Amino acid sequence: MKIIKTADYNEMSRKAANIIAAQMILKPNSVLGLATGSSPIGTYQELVKKNVAGDIDFSDITTVNLDEYRGLPRDNDQSYYYFMNDNLFNHVNIDKERTHVPNGMVADADKECGDYEALIKELGGVDLQLLGLGHNGHIGFNEPSEEFDKVTHCVDLQESTIEANKRFFASIDDVPRQAYTMGIGTIMAAKKILVVVSGADKAEIVKKAFTGPVTPHVPASILQMHPDVTVVCDAAAYSKIEA
């Protein structure tokens, strides 16, 4: 695991975008695994700039997103489908047919999750997976538990996640209680993994996840076992590692 420390969120975003750009230049038909949340927004803005400048090309890129709220229509501005269009896909030369987000409106969870897992296999797997880090160590929506979930599945969100994500909704009651998410096994099968983390509120979990014991109680800790992980972390998020 390589940890790159940056001065702030903007430098984190530029460095992360450079890593994704390098992947796209070296393999123009890459399958990119993408994430939502506030952490990757700056990275997406930098990728848009590079695309507009002609330095990267999305025309042969395929994307698969990590997760989606269950029961939220795709035109709801809090759905991850909407987020991806709004923050990235609407602003770059990507073929939308090649962008994939689990469909939270499919009521049959086993079917949607099984189909999503099969799709990733059909695509030949993920070349580079971008991740954020939840305050409780979740990646995608893999919440702390007694064991690592292997494949794409339906999860009950934990109170702390509902609490953390309520800032995006009109009220806490509007936050969906379930989500479809790639499993830990799905994430670990990616050839390369890039994690972006920022802010002092993440310092404790950064230390636990990346320097502590590997345990399903801190899902991101499993990343220590992956052969090609880069964490781009701003100084505030890194501060407890140095302390």
Q: Which of 6, 23, 36, 221 binds ligand GLP (CB under 6 A)?
A: 36
Q: Is 226 a catalytic residue?
A: no
Q: Are 35 and 41 within 8 A, CB to CB?
A: no
Q: Distance (Å, rounded) from C-alpha 196 to C-alpha 123?
A: 25
Nearer to ligand GLP, 161 or 221 (CB): 161
- 133: burial class by Cβ within 10 Å (0-12, 13-18, 19+)? buried
Residues 68-127 that bind ligand GLP (CB under 6 A): none
Q: Is 42 in the site for ligand GLP (CB under 6 A)?
A: no
**What are the respective helix, strand and coil percentages of the chain, to the nearest 5?**
40, 20, 40
Catalytic residue among 85, 136, 142, 165: 136
Q: Distance (Å, rounded) from C-alpha 27 to C-alpha 21?
A: 10
Is the four-CA dihedral 145, 220, 206, 199 of positive or negative sign?
negative
Q: Which of 23, 24, 37, 175 binds ligand GLP (CB under 6 A)?
A: 37
Q: Is 186 in the site for ligand GLP (CB under 6 A)?
A: no
Three-point CA angle 141, 24, 2, nearest 5°: 60
Q: Which span sits near ligand GLP by CB under 6 A: 55-63, 119-127, 128-136, 186-194?
A: 128-136
Q: Distance (Å, rounded) from C-alpha 179 to C-alpha 199?
A: 25
Q: Which span sits near ligand GLP by CB under 6 A: 7-15, 51-59, 132-140, 233-241?
A: 132-140
C-beta of 135: minimal distance to ligand GLP in Å? 7
Q: Is 188 in the site for ligand GLP (CB under 6 A)?
A: no
Q: Is 127 a catalytic residue?
A: no
Residues annotated catalytic, as ranges: 67, 136, 138, 143
- Interacting residue ranges for ligand GLP, rule: CB under 6 A: 35-39, 66-67, 132-134, 140-141, 161, 165
